[in-house]
Amino acid sequence: MDIADMEALMLYNANKTKLTAHYEDDPASAFLEAARAGDGDFDMQEWDSVQDPDPAFENVLAIAAFARRQEDYERKRSLGLANTVDDIQFAADQAAEQNRLRDLERSQRAWTDSPDQPELPPGYVEADSLFIPEQSEVHEIPVQKRASPKPRNGISKQEMMQAMSGGIDTACTSSGKPKRKNSSTTDNGPPKKGPRAAGGAKPAKRPPRKRAIKTSMTNLPSLGKSNIIRDAQANASRPDMPTFTARDKSKALRELIASIPSAERGQHNSDKKAILDATKKFRGKGAVRSDGQGGWRHRDMESSLYNHQLLGVAFLRDRENSGSKPQGGMVCDEMGFGKTIQMIANILDGKPAEDSPFKTTLIVAPPTLLPQWMSEMDRHVKGNSLGRILRYHSGARLISNDILADLSAYDIILTTYGEVQKSYPIPDPPKHLSSEAKKNEWWEKFYQENVGPLHRLKFHRIVLDEAHQIKNHASKTSIAVCALTGVYKWCITGTPIMNYIEELYPYFRFLRVPHTGDYATFLHNYCNNRLSRDPISMGRIHNILRAIMLRRTHADTIFNAPVVKLPGITHTTHLVEFNDVERAIYNMVKTRYIYQINSYSRSGELTANYRNILAMMLRLRMLCSHILLCQDVLKRMFVAADIENLWRLTAKEVQASGDENQKNMITTLRRMLQTKDNTLTTCQTKEAEADADPAANSETQNGEASGDVGKGFALSFKFRKFLRSLSESKTWTELHLRSTCGKCRLPPDDPVCTSCFHVYCKECISAMDYERQLRGETKSACLECGAHFEETSPCSGLKSLGFNSDSVARKVEKAKRKSLPTSTGGQAGRSSDSRQASCGSGEETDEEDKDPDWIELMGSTVLPSAKLTATKAAILNWQQTARGEKIIIYTQFLGLCRILDKVCSAEGWGHVLFNGKMSLEAREKAIERFKHDPQVFIMICSLKAGGVGLNLNMASKVIILDLWFNSSIEAQAYCRAFRIGQQRKVEVLRFVVKDSIDEDLIKMQDRKDVEVTGAIGPDSHGKRATIQQLLSLFGEVQEEGQNEFILVEDEDQNDDDDPNVPMADRLPPRPF
């Protein structure tokens, strides 16, 4: 079922059309008898023939075929035998025929914008046929023309109301019901229930019309989750894409088919037809030609398009040239397939008419990607074919007395999501406004005074790169982006759904998908108003996405060859273990967090402290990467018992720096990484491992790691200097105030430590021993943990650090006196500080700001961690087995970026940093150095800044140090390297700390993958819906468990607004 079928169904339900058509005399009637005398199947062609059919003859046959279907339909109508299915089917056929004629006219149209256009090769022939399977009613978009003056770029009244409504909804959270379309019927309308004809007679069942096999453009089973690793590894055994050298289009395709084994040619006819038809979706004759090297070259482009990219651009052109809504869609090819170059080709071919008031294309992207967009447009496009380009963002804004006119003068504007958010005023109406008139007056003034230039213009096209930035529909960024106004709108993202289907709502709202409505309506129509994680029926959403989404993955094929075939990829998750100090600190923090969470639960404040609990999880994840990332939390959390415990655990630090145990550990880690021992199987890898090539694994295992342990990093672990630094800071005084004897609850005097590592006064321990003897017990029980201890020992660590020394005692007494006048407030303050410490809020007091930074305190001797030691081992292995290959290390924490910087410097490894704290210019220079400097082979990337959009295919090794809550974000990161242009096999390593929150995150990732796949994966995906099935999905036939589809009245259906009326003359909409 095509989108035209579904659109006809929507019109039928809304009673907006009469399906009895009146047509002018058709020239095809003269050929009708000849068509009937033939085999009757003029839609199918034999593509293995030596000579392609004549385009003019093809056109005659297509006209005759449609005329035959038209006559059959009118005959059934006249006899009263036509039912709802017939009505909708003919409406779809009519739209498809209009689409075909439109394509034929466009492909044969003379095109004169490029004066230096090379001549067509001798014998160049254009064919015409239908390519895009998902297409609605089509017609050329009329351009408003005025004799004088030239039309202005302005926003219509209705568009302004739409832009303002986003902020209004956020401020007022109206709970009113959505406005439905008028569903009243007329006498001439179709019957209300069921597809029966007049009189109740059931129509005769007709045989289904034979459909030609069509190339799939939307891989719906991969919408929720695709296994990049499995699919890419499976492609290794598949044939390469067949190629050609001829420059003539028809000859090139015949050569391509001829290169395929004869037994397989029949199944590739539809692929050849789709490619041939795709070349005719562009403006002008010969706009796209074969480059003689297996690619396709647009007249205004320096670079060629691969087969799948040509098909993709044709899909984009069809969506923009059709008159159906939305005018645009979603470009969701998997990461690394060339979504950017496809959009550039679409922008080139879809430039506005000279007299159009809307000439500017707005591209919204994360700041990191703006230089890449500039670079891609410069590299792929000839000369000044794209026109004038402007980067408009923080630090690069225009200063002008007529900013709107200046922005409108550019053909392309590159901006950021942050800039769009700043341009849109989010309302916060005063509480005293009670009457509607006052609210309207306030909102009109507030909006007009605060709206920025990006929301005062209507753009020719709006492109959202990394569109998942707006997936939270309630965020300020999402609201601001959805308020932008443009003729065509596109969302580009490789991960359209990360968690649940509800994340599609912001895309639908931005694109103005018909009948989207508000969030509640979207849930009602597509999510069954679910309140849990139960799987939902995907029938409706799949039928919408088939029309507006372009998605191909590594599992898709053309000519039985992978759409994109890359050298290969491996993905391994290795388990590493804490040392004694790391484990003690982790357990200490985790124990206190558990105690705090339990206290929230007992007091009924668990939900209210949801953010605090997430912060606790964040701190535990940071500890898994490096304990110094949580230094502020540790300083606020340590008590005397913790210090004594850590002092005893670090007793071995007095040994020589070249600790043999540490050297042996690095050697062991190198061997473990090479042989892939101690690994975890995850959803991403379990299927890939089953299909893995044993020879490749054995080849890896045969390589023996050398005894090289590198330079000084990770050869020693010295933590005592940080304890000494703590004893010299002002935090030491607060530690005394927090540390109390387990019995008297006062600061311990002459402290002693039990075997369970709790601190008591020496006199209190004696008193406890005396009480034990009176009770006749053999062992004393710790008052803190309840454990029985047999012995105690003096706290030598606390004594060495000057615990309870005279100078410290004076500071403690001073602090106590200072808190006496406001004892209640002081106690509340300490309680609040303790609560902040337990939840790891990260806020620091003035005293703590003066404490030394432990990361800087390390100097040249960097404190190792379990993950960083394993990272060093992996790099040493690659230096031995893959010298010259570049490495990307991803982390979520800027502190770890600083530590990695010190590690690389200590080891003498050439490296660059790339994170959000760097300026755009610094990031550009970092990428250029990483790309061109052979001495720089490591890039330390933050996951947020460097994990999306970038093209880093110069690297082939990836290390992911910090896990995310779902695997899609990590896939975005390693696909910076695993993408078109990659010449080497990509290796991805992840390090997970054993018995830590890391393992819980792995389980969460796997659980989410299973849930998303179950809800929107292959099992929930059926075949294309028939008209009868669409009636049950969107129409009046109700199925059990399926909500009635709400037909929301489109806010922009009134097209009578003059877009050239000045903004100052417009009345604002009712705001609340």
133: pLDDT strictly greater than 60: no
State CA 147 to chain mean position distance: 46
Least confident window among 211-215, 279-283, 423-427, 728-732: 211-215
* H or E stretch at 1003: helix 997-1016
Tens of pLDDT, residues 457-507: 999 999 999 999 999 998 999 999 998 999 999 999 988 888 788 889 999
Confidence of residue 45 (pLDDT cuts 50, 70, 90): very low
The answer to the question of residue 294 being in a domain is yes
Residues 1006 and 920 in one domain: yes
Phi, psi of 760 (to 5 degrees): -135, 160
Q: What local confidence, expressed as pLDDT, does residue 682 receive?
A: 79
958: pLDDT strictly greater than 90: yes
Confidence of residue 177 (pLDDT cuts 50, 70, 90): very low
Q: What local confidence, expressed as pLDDT, does residue 533 receive?
A: 57
Q: Give the number of domains in the chain.
A: 3
Confidence of residue 916 (pLDDT cuts 50, 70, 90): confident
110: pLDDT strictly greater than 80: no
Reference 281, options 315, 307, 242; nearest CA is 315
Domain of residue 253 covers 232-426+436-562
Residues 534 and 414 in one domain: yes
Ramachandran sector of residue 840 (left: φ over 0; alpha: ψ -120 to 50; beta: rest): left
Least confident window among 233-242, 420-429, 875-884: 233-242
Q: What local confidence, expressed as pLDDT, does residue 391 receive?
A: 93
Alpha-carbon distance of 225 to 223, in angstroms, equals 6
Q: Which has more confidence, 912 or 140?
A: 912
Tens of pLDDT, residues 559-575: 888 888 888 899 999 99
| Average pLDDT along the chain | 76
Alpha-carbon distance of 996 to 994, in angstroms, equals 6
Phi, psi of 500 (to 5 degrees): -140, 160
Confidence of residue 276 (pLDDT cuts 50, 70, 90): confident
- Residues 1052-1057 have a mean pLDDT of 43
Q: Which amino acid is it at 615?
A: A
Q: Which has more confidence, 65 or 137?
A: 65
Confidence of residue 656 (pLDDT cuts 50, 70, 90): low
Tens of pLDDT, residues 571-591: 999 999 999 999 999 999 999
The secondary structure of 241-307 as a DSSP string is: PP-----SHHHHHHHHHHTS-GGGGGGGHHHHHHHHHHTTSSSSTTSEEE-SSS-EEETTBSSEEPH
Cα separations in angstroms, 790 against 387, 751, 755, 778, 783: 83, 17, 7, 9, 14
The secondary structure of 409-456 as a DSSP string is: T-SEEEEEHHHHHHHSPPP---TT--SHHHHHHHHHHHHHHH--GGGT
Q: What local confidence, expressed as pLDDT, does residue 280 receive?
A: 85
The answer to the question of residue 154 being in a domain is no
Alpha-carbon distance of 411 to 419, in angstroms, equals 18
Express as a percent the part of the chain with pLDDT over 70. Answer: 68
Express as a percent the part of the chain with pLDDT over 90. Answer: 30
Q: What local confidence, expressed as pLDDT, does residue 1037 receive?
A: 43
Q: Which has more confidence, 215 or 350?
A: 350
Residues 335 and 398 in one domain: yes
Q: Which has more confidence, 902 or 847?
A: 902
Residues 444 and 365 in one domain: yes
696: pLDDT strictly greater than 60: no
The answer to the question of residue 846 being in a domain is yes
Q: Which has more confidence, 207 or 374?
A: 374
CA atoms within 13 A on the CB side of 9: 26
Q: Which has more confidence, 323 or 627?
A: 627
Last residue of a domain, one of 534, 562, 590: 562
Residues 805 and 865 in one domain: no
The answer to the question of residue 310 being in a domain is yes
Q: What local confidence, expressed as pLDDT, does residue 654 receive?
A: 60
Residues 636 and 785 in one domain: yes
Alpha-carbon distance of 152 to 1006, in angstroms, equals 53
Last residue of a domain, one of 1016, 1037, 1061: 1016
Residues 785 and 866 in one domain: no
The answer to the question of residue 665 being in a domain is yes
The answer to the question of residue 963 being in a domain is yes
DSSP 991: E
CATH number, residue 676: 3.40.50.300
Q: Where are the alpha helices (DSSP H) in 527-630?
A: 539-548, 580-602, 610-625
Q: Which has more confidence, 1047 or 394?
A: 394
User: Which residues lie below 8 Å from residue 240, measured CB to CB, with a gap of 6+?
Assistant: 561, 565
Least confident window among 13-22, 107-116, 859-868: 13-22
Residues 412 and 521 in one domain: yes
The answer to the question of residue 23 being in a domain is no
Tens of pLDDT, residues 782-795: 888 888 887 888 99
* H or E stretch at 760: strand 759-761
Q: What local confidence, expressed as pLDDT, does residue 113 receive?
A: 45
- Residues 496-524 have a mean pLDDT of 87
- Residues 115-121 have a mean pLDDT of 45
Least confident window among 623-627, 655-659, 827-831, 996-1000: 827-831
Q: What local confidence, expressed as pLDDT, does residue 810 receive?
A: 83
CATH number, residue 367: 3.40.50.10810
The answer to the question of residue 1054 being in a domain is no
Q: Which has more confidence, 168 or 193?
A: 168
Residues 573 and 553 in one domain: no
Residues 951 and 971 in one domain: yes
Confidence of residue 170 (pLDDT cuts 50, 70, 90): low
Q: What local confidence, expressed as pLDDT, does residue 428 receive?
A: 80
Least confident window among 330-334, 848-852, 1036-1040: 1036-1040
Residues 796 and 913 in one domain: no
17-21, 178-182, 407-411: which is most confident: 407-411
Alpha-carbon distance of 242 to 232, in angstroms, equals 18
Q: Which amino acid is it at 995?
A: D
- Residues 39-53 have a mean pLDDT of 37
Alpha-carbon distance of 291 to 372, in angstroms, equals 25
993: pLDDT strictly greater than 90: yes
1071: pLDDT strictly greater than 60: no
26: pLDDT strictly greater than 60: no
Tens of pLDDT, residues 76-90: 888 888 887 787 788
Cα separations in angstroms, 415 against 332, 489, 730: 21, 15, 46
Confidence of residue 850 (pLDDT cuts 50, 70, 90): low
Last residue of a domain, one of 562, 593, 614: 562
| C-beta atoms surrounding 674 within 10 Å | 19
222: pLDDT strictly greater than 90: no
Residues 939 and 989 in one domain: yes
